[in-house]
């Protein structure tokens, strides 16, 4: 059992996936980490289970026979008022597809093919956030820490000086880690409707990367071209 999974006690997860081989592989991996798994192979079964049983998280495939994952997500949020964290799985890597998923009520989005440790890390993060188990006074990712009370950022014990905007960006990325934060999400949270030109965010991210990554051996800040950004521990870094 992984060290991360030890932090999740009796977590019950509903896996909605019509490809049974993939469902069995995901289920076996998560069960080996201590999760209690339940399965649905079509939309109707997923709706029934999600509205009649209590789950700590739902892993929901977008492409399902009958009712697809987007419609299920919308129904659970708007009509059944189910607040369980939902991580959506899809083979489509287009930004608009992801934004549609978020608008329907998804909490996270993972593109196939994916690595099992990343799926586990994302599910754990969603469950811990839902349970209020995150200590929001100090964010820590690998050897990078951000003390919200003192506004001090350190990596390997070294104090890092950042501008106010870079501090806000870092806080958002660390708060959402290991989840991907889209450019639109960052801009909305930083500036609301008064979004500056695209070069402004790019400039701040360049300064942030230069401060927290360039002096150190292992980068933490990922850029997903055309989609967004995320901060992750080195073992999860897939894009340099």
- Residue 3: pLDDT band by 50, 70, 90 thresholds? very low
Residues 203-215 have pLDDT tens digits of: 999 999 999 999 9
Mean pLDDT lowest for which of 57-61, 145-149, 164-168?
A: 145-149
Residues 63-95 have pLDDT tens digits of: 898 899 999 999 999 999 999 999 999 887 777
Asked whether residue 236 carries a pLDDT value surpassing 90, the answer given is no
- For the chain, list the domains and their CATH numbers: 5-131 (3.40.50.2300), 138-236 (1.10.10.10)
Q: Can you tell me the distance from the alpha carbon of 229 to that of 239, in angstroms, rounded to the nearest whole number?
A: 10
Q: What is the pLDDT of residue 196?
A: 76
Work out the average pLDDT over 127-152: 81
CB burial of residue 152 (10 Å; 0-12, 13-18, 19+): middle
């Amino acid at each position: 059992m992984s060290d991360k999974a030890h932090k999740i006690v009796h977590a019950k997860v509903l896996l909605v996936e019509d490809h049974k081989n993939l469902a069995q592989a995901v289920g076996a991996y998560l069960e080996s980490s201590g999760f209690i798994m339940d399965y649905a192979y079509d939309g109707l079964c997923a709706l029934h289970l999600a509205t009649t049983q209590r789950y700590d998280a739902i892993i929901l495939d977008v492409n399902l026979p009958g009712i697809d994952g987007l419609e299920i997500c919308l129904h659970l949020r708007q009509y059944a008022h189910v607040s369980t964290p939902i991580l959506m799985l899809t083979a489509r890597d287009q930004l608009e597809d992801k934004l549609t998923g978020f608008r329907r009520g998804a909490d996270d989005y993972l593109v196939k093919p994916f690595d099992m440790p990343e799926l586990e890390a994302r599910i754990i993060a969603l469950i811990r956030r839902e349970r209020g188990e995150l200590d929001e006074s100090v964010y820590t990712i690998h050897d990078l820490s951000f003390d919200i009370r003192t506004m001090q950022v350190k990596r390997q014990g070294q104090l890092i000086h950042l501008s106010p905007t870079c501090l806000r960006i870092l806080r958002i990325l660390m708060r959402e880690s290991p989840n991907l934060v889209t450019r639109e999400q960052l801009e909305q949270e930083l500036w609301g409707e008064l979004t500056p030109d695209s070069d402004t965010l790019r400039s701040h991210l360049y300064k942030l990367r230069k401060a927290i990554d360039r002096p150190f051996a292992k980068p933490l800040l990922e850029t997903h071209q055309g989609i967004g950004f995320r901060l992750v521990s080195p073992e999860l870094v897939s894009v340099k």
